[in-house]
Structures are given as structure tokens and as C-alpha cells.
Amino acid sequence: MKPIGPLMWEHRLIEKMLTAMMKHVDKIEKSKKVNPVVIDVAVDFVRMYADRTHHGKEEEILFRDLASKNLSPELKKTMQELLDEHVWGRKTTAALVAAKEQYLQGDEKKLAEIINLARQLGNFYPRHIEKEDKRFFYPCQEYFSKGEQDKMLEEFWEFDGKMIHEKYNRVFEEYTRLGF
């Protein structure tokens, strides 16, 4: 198996979650009410799975290893675009959380911002995923030997194994911060 296999499998789950999130955004628009738990679950998914786990493997392993290769100008440009898009996704997700918190504190005008930010995320990720799947992952694999690909795949599995501990250490920290 090539390292792009698990990354593309992750893309399929991200796409499914975003479809579900967009259906919820449609409900928010109709009802003019936000269920904060649904937003929190979507944000947790985006932050922990799409960003920390998936983008983490890309940035901390794949892109790191590609940086040592003599990439074509086009692939270098695409890799920088992907990094910039990851940053945009983090900022937009943080803005969604802030808007939700302000809404919960009584600022009804934040409803439109919540809808807008959620739609931006829902529209962004499919384009981002398509760029990775169709224009980046396949050509970048040509820069790695079979042994390098096997090593990268092993690093991916090790990276994934650490995520559950990172996630639940954060849950504990938040839990105690709230005074439980």
C-alpha cells in the first residue's frame, strides 16, 4: 500500500462528515436556532480528525519528507497552497467557535455568521480534497522509493496511535478547567 491510501480514505470520511454538517446548517437556516452540541461535535471532528490527525500526517510526515526532494515548481507551489489552506481552515474553524460562543451569550446576530462560516468550511474542504487527491498525492509519490513509502506508511500508523492519547488528554484538561 502507498502512503496516499490512508490519506485518501480519511478524505472520504471528511467528505461524509461535511455533508452531514451542511445538512445541519440547512436546519439552522430554517429554524433560526443553533444546537451548540452539533456545532461542537462538528468542530471537534474538523479539529481532531481533519486537521490534527489528517493534516498532521500531511504536514509532519509527507510534506516534511517532500521538502528534502527536488520537487517540480508546480508541486512546490501546490504544497504551499495546501499549507496555506490548512491555516485558513484552522482560522475559520476558530472563528466558527467564537461566533457560536457569542451566540450562546445572547448575540442573535451571530447566527448568520455561524451559518456563513460553516458553509465556508463545507465548501472549502471538497475543493481542498480534490486538489490533494487529483493534483498532488499521485505525482508526489513518484519522488519516493518503495522503501521510503513503506517507512512513511509506518510513520502514519504510529502518528495515528498517538492521536487518541492527545485527544483525551485535552478532554481531561478541559474537564478540569471547567471545574468538574
- Which pLDDT score is estimated for 174? 81
Average pLDDT on 57-86 reads 97
pLDDT band at residue 66, thresholds of 50, 70 and 90?
A: very high
Task: With cut-offs at 50, 70 and 90, classify the pLDDT of residue 31.
Answer: very high
**What per-residue confidence (pLDDT) applies to 178?**
78
Of the pLDDT bands very low, low, confident and very high (cuts 50, 70, 90), residue 159 is: very high
pLDDT score of 168 more than 90: no
32 conformational bin, left if phi > 0, alpha if psi -120 to 50, beta if neither = left
The whole-model pTM stands at: 0.90
Rounded to 5 degrees, what angle do the CA atoms 51, 55, 61 make? 145
Nearest CA to 91 out of 123, 115, 120 is that of 120
The cell numbers describing 74, all together, are 508546480
Judged against a pLDDT cut of 80, whether residue 56 lies above it is answered with yes
Count how many residues are written for the chain: 180
Quick one: average pLDDT of 109-116? Answer: 96
The mean pLDDT of 95-99, rounded to a whole number, is: 97
- Is there a contact between 133 and 8 (Cβ–Cβ < 8 Å)? yes
The whole-number pLDDT of residue 69 equals 97
Architecture of 4-177 per CATH?
Up-down Bundle (1.20)
Domain ranges of the chain: 4-177
